[in-house]
A and B are shown apart, each in its own frame.
Chain A
Amino acid sequence: MSSTTATRTGTDTARPPAPSKALQRSGDWARRAPLLPALIFTILMTQLPFVATIVISFMNWNAYYPDERGFAGVDNFARVFTDTNTRKAVWVTILLTVSVVLICLVLGLGIALLLDRKFRGQGIVRTMMITPFLIVPVAAALLWKHALYNPEYGLFNGLLKTVFGDNAPQPDWITNNPLAAIIAALVWQWTPFMMLILLAGLQSRPLDVVEAARIDGANAWQIFTNMTLPHLRQYIELSGLLGAIYVVQNFDHVFTITSGGLGTANLPYFIYQTFYTAQDYGRASAAGVVVVIGTIIIATAALRTAFSLFKEDS
């Protein structure tokens, strides 16, 4: 029931060739016509703003000082690269993305394996597992910040008191480990996402081959490492890639849980603050350009992975 995608044939699915050149050309445009609205709309809405960002990044433009607007050369970039806050934001973004994606993958794989068997209440457990993903991210961040982490009335410290009595330790979770607090809340939301994709991968595994291997004397561990994991590889890559796309842009949790304080400002939050609060349009744009260049480098590698992923055929 679940086949991994996509490309049924090679690069250009060659249908029977058109008889004449003129006919072919009109055929080409007939083919392109349905594509154009979506393509033009996407270019207008996603590429044009980036071009504008590049232009503004070379300008001295702060909305608080409208008279000083002008060409700034590479000043904004120099400030972006020398500013410790920016470098810190880059580091936080990497740390946040890598740790959330890796933890979610490991947890998601373990839980998918647990759910990939028949047992009483399988449907209920699966439904409970996906619940975190269906909470609006801001709401989830508010829930973790106030209802779970709060040192005075949050559930975590409440449970500590319930279990250990009145002398139980009552740590201030967010202040003590601000980044870990954000990571935990994100892991809770994104593990179901990874789990669902990996579970679909597990359920598409050809069981007769596994059965044959078992009859040939392969033990459970051998079957897992030699058959299940290779089969799952593309599903692991897919969920890791998609998870990274979403987590790297995370704004809601940083904004809600710490407001970027305590050294947790990632790049999306940092740019938001530079532009929205400090009104430094030039510098915010320069930071944006740096983010895009960084993303292109990483995305090229990721896209290559995705490419092999979606081209691979059964």
Chain B
Amino acid sequence: MSTATTSGTGTSSTGTTQEVRHAKPPRSGVILTAAAWVIGILFALPVLWMILTSLHSENDAAKNPPDFFAPLSLDGYRSFFDAGPWPPLLNSLTASVLSTILVLLLAFPAAYALSIRPVKKWTDVLFFFLSTKMLPIVAGILPLYLFAQKVGLLDNIWWLILLYTSMNLPIAVWMLRSFLAEVPVEMLEAASVDGASLTRTLKDIVAPVVMPGIASAALICFIFSWNELLLARVLTSTVAGTAPVFLTGFVTSQGLFLAKVCAASFVVSLPVLAAGFAAQDKLVQGLSMGAVK
């Protein structure tokens, strides 16, 4: 088990990983730990820089070379909140929360019909849902715009809510299906023998087993809706504009704006950061559409 000599190069360090787990040769272990820390810090660095810059005055933020220890200031946040971010933030919240609820209401029974009491050709249906994710939104955006224009749904948050629902529904169907597939069938049979209704079966037996799946689906649907820009940019303006749309219009001003932009970016990302950090394992399940549990 002498791997210490090979631990420099990329390929062998991957092998060393396994050695370390069992034998722990001290030197290569230290190198690998250091490498992990360095890479982690490098990936987090832009975000840390964003937070630090947001806490500097505009003048200090624009300095080159940068003044890392400039006095802290809340001016960036002040000018962000003076620019009227609350309506867009509330719009984003409304669109994300309501579309997530709609997605779950539609996806849960559908997933049930694709797993526990499957319809015929359920795999085809499942892959139809996935295939809609592969069609680029941009190819259907013009009719969506013209329709909204015709029926007066332009700049209406409900149109975005419906579109976000359709955008995230396939992900939720896939995810909930993979969780429902693990519900013990005996419990369901016992319930049907006892004469329990469909809704009762769903509520009392199925839901508790798949609660983690519902949480993951909700998390990922919320994040994707909160992040969405293209549809919101085309279909909304002053009334129903969401936070990402607000951000894109934020850099038009003259003069220094770096601290302000960093503060805005941080505030808008905060809900996603909080939700993602709080539920890291749910994040993995959600991202893999339930394939990885």
Contacts and interface: CB of A to CB of B under 8 A. Distances in A.
Interface of A: 1-8, 11-13, 15, 28, 30-35, 37-39, 41-42, 45-50, 52-53, 56, 110-111, 113-122, 124-140, 142-144, 146-148, 150, 152-153, 155, 157-159, 161-162, 188, 191-193, 196-197, 199-201, 204, 210-211, 214, 219-221, 223-224, 228, 235, 238-239, 242, 245, 248-249, 251-252, 255-256, 267-268, 271-272, 275-276, 281, 284-285, 288-289, 291-292, 295, 299, 302-303, 306-307, 309-310
Q: Which residue of B49, B125, B139, B276 has the most chain A CB atoms within 10 A of its CB atom?
A: B139
Contact of A285 (B109, B112, B142, B229): B142
B248 interface: yes
Of the listed residues A35, A133, A148, A256, the one surrounded by the most CB atoms of chain B closer than 10 A to its CB is A35
A158 B66 contact: yes
- Give the contact-size bracket for chain B: 35 or more
B134 A6 contact: no
A309 B11 CA distance: 27
A7 B123 CA distance: 9
Contacts of B14: 110, 113, 220, 224, 228
Contacts of A238: 288, 291-292
A45 B166 contact: yes
Interface string B119-143: 1111101011111111111111111
B17 A117 contact: yes
A147 B262 contact: yes
Contact of A135 (B11, B41, B233, B265): B265
A34 B131 contact: no
A228 B61 CA distance: 46
10 contacts: A15-B117, A42-B129, A129-B43, A134-B277, A135-B50, A143-B46, A143-B50, A276-B234, A291-B138, A292-B135
A191 B293 CA distance: 20
B247 A139 contact: yes
Contact of A281 (B44, B142, B166, B290): B142
Contact of A128 (B35, B43, B63, B229): B43
B100 interface: no
B247 to A, nearest CB: 5
Contacts of B166: 41-42, 45-46
B241 interface: no
Nearest to A249: B136
Contacts of A302: 134
Contacts of B208: none
Given A12-B122, A200-B284, A288-B141, 4 more contacts: A49-B143, A113-B13, A131-B44, A138-B247
Contact of A42 (B13, B170, B264, B291): B170
A53 B136 CA distance: 12
A114 B138 contact: no
A211 B220 CA distance: 36
Contact of A288 (B142, B227, B289): B142
A291 B147 CA distance: 21
Contacts of B127: 303, 306-307
A147 B110 contact: no
Contact of B139 (A110, A131, A251, A292): A292
Contacts of B22: 211, 214
A211 B35 CA distance: 25
A290 B17 CA distance: 46
Contacts of A197: 284, 287-288, 292
A249 B138 CA distance: 8
Contact of A49 (B33, B140, B229, B264): B140
Interface of B: 3, 6, 10-22, 29, 32-33, 35-37, 39-41, 43-44, 46-47, 49-50, 53, 61-66, 106-107, 109-110, 112-114, 117-123, 125, 127-147, 162-163, 165-166, 169-170, 173, 177-178, 181, 198, 223, 226-227, 229-230, 233-234, 243-244, 247-248, 250-251, 257-258, 261-262, 264-266, 268-269, 272-273, 276-277, 280, 283-284, 287-293
Contacts of A41: 106, 165-166, 169
Given A38-B106, A41-B169, A130 B276 contact: yes
Interface of A is mostly: helix
A132 B269 CA distance: 10
Given A5-B291, A147-B261, A235-B292, A117 B21 contact: yes
Contacts of B119: 28, 31-32, 35
A126 B272 contact: no
A2 B293 contact: yes
A188 B46 contact: yes
Contacts of A137: 227, 229, 244
A146 B258 contact: yes
Given A4-B291, A34-B112, A221-B11, A158 B65 contact: yes
B131 A303 contact: yes
Nearest to B105: A37
Nearest to A120: B33
B138 A147 contact: no
Given A32-B119, A42-B169, A133 B139 contact: no
Contacts of B10: 110
Ordered nearest first, which 8 A-B pairs have the shortest CB separation? A220-B15, A34-B109, A49-B140, A139-B265, A45-B166, A52-B143, A288-B139, A38-B110
A295 B136 contact: yes
Given A41-B165, A152-B62, A153-B63, A135 B47 contact: yes
